[in-house]
Structures are given as C-alpha cells and as structure tokens.
Structure 1
C-alpha cells in the first residue's frame, strides 16, 4: 500500500501546487490590473495638466496681445494728436507769413471787423 499512499501524497502535493499557482496567478493578475489602472490615471492626469498649461499659455498670450493692442492704439491716438497740433501750428504760421507778405506789398484785404488801430498799414 505504500505505493497507494505515495500516489495519494503526490496527488495532494500536486493539488496544493496547482492551488498555490492559481493564487499566485490571481495575485499577479490583480497587481497587473492595478498597475494598468494607475498608469491610465497617471496618463490622464498628465494630459489634464498639459491641457491646463496650454490653456493657461493661451490665456497669457491673449492677455499680452490685448495689452499690446491697447498700447499701440494709445500710441496711435497720442501721435495723431501731436501731428494734428503740429499741423495746426504750421498752418497758423503759414497764414501769418502770407498775411505779412500781403501786407508788405499792399495786397492785404481788410475785413470790416478788423480793428484799424491794429493794422500796421493805416496811419492814425
């Protein structure tokens, strides 16, 4: 009967080995699923962070561009005002010079509203 007893023990050992193998395979499968889920979550978090950074960069660029547009518009308005003032001064100086030349040659036309005392060509 020793051989029957040895067969029984061999079968029992084989059963335990299969059970241990199945437990190990199950544990390894669970760990593999956990690693897969963790990798997925890490990747998703990285994508979200990248999208957040991209959105933040877009917002910063938009704000910077808007500030530059406003500054350019302000400079344009300031320059336009300066050019307009300069143009008015040049126009006034040119009119004054033309009036002086006309007056010198006796070609000046006097309006009725002009004060004759302020006209250098009239004798008081």
Structure 2
C-alpha cells in the first residue's frame, strides 16, 4: 500500500469517526430534548390533575352544603305542617 493510499484510508477513517461522533451527539441531544418534553408534560399533567381535584373538591363541598340546606328546609316544612318544633316565634 502506498503512503498516499494509507493517508486516504486514515483520512476516510477520521471522517467516519467524526461523522459517528456527530451522529452520537445529535442522538444524545434529541434524547435529552425528548426527556425534557416528557418531564414538562408530566408536570403539566400533575398540575392539571391537582387543579381538577381542587375543583372537584369545591364542587362536592358546595353540593353537600346545598343538600344540607335543602334537607333543613324540608325538615322545617314538615315540622311547620305537623305543628311540631320551635313555637317561641309564634307568640
């Protein structure tokens, strides 16, 4: 093998190694970007879930209060109809 052929073989190998390193770095960068996006999506989902949970808790509490008020109103109506209950304000 001549020295020129040896030089070209070495040059080709060097170019191939450089391209492989570029490709590896590009792959790492792409993987890191994908990981960042996945973490951001997970965080966003977590925050949305917490907001939904807080909203649902508020809705349930509000509904519970409405049901209690309706039950008290119904109970007062029944007491009034039957003439049972607090007579102090009927003087």
With the length of structure 2 as denominator, give the TM-score of the two structures: 0.90
Corresponding residue for residue 30 of structure 1: 7
Instruction: Figure out how many residues of one structure are paired with residues of the other and give that number.
Output: 91
Equivalent of 2:62 in 74, 85, 89: 85
Higher relative contact order (CA 8 A, sep 6+): 1
> Unaligned stretches of 5+ in structure 1?
1-23, 117-121
Superposition misfits of 4+ residues, deviation over 3 angstroms: none
**Which structure shows the bigger proportion of residues in helix conformation?**
2
For residues 107 and 36 of structure 1, what CA distance do their matches in structure 2 show?
101
With the length of structure 1 as denominator, give the TM-score of the two structures: 0.68
Larger Rg: 1
> Unaligned stretches of 5+ in structure 2?
none
For residues 92 and 71 of structure 1, what CA distance do their matches in structure 2 show?
31
Q: Any residues of structure 2 matched to 1:1-12 within 5 Å, and which?
A: none
For residues 95 and 48 of structure 1, what CA distance do their matches in structure 2 show?
70
For residues 96 and 108 of structure 1, what CA distance do their matches in structure 2 show?
13
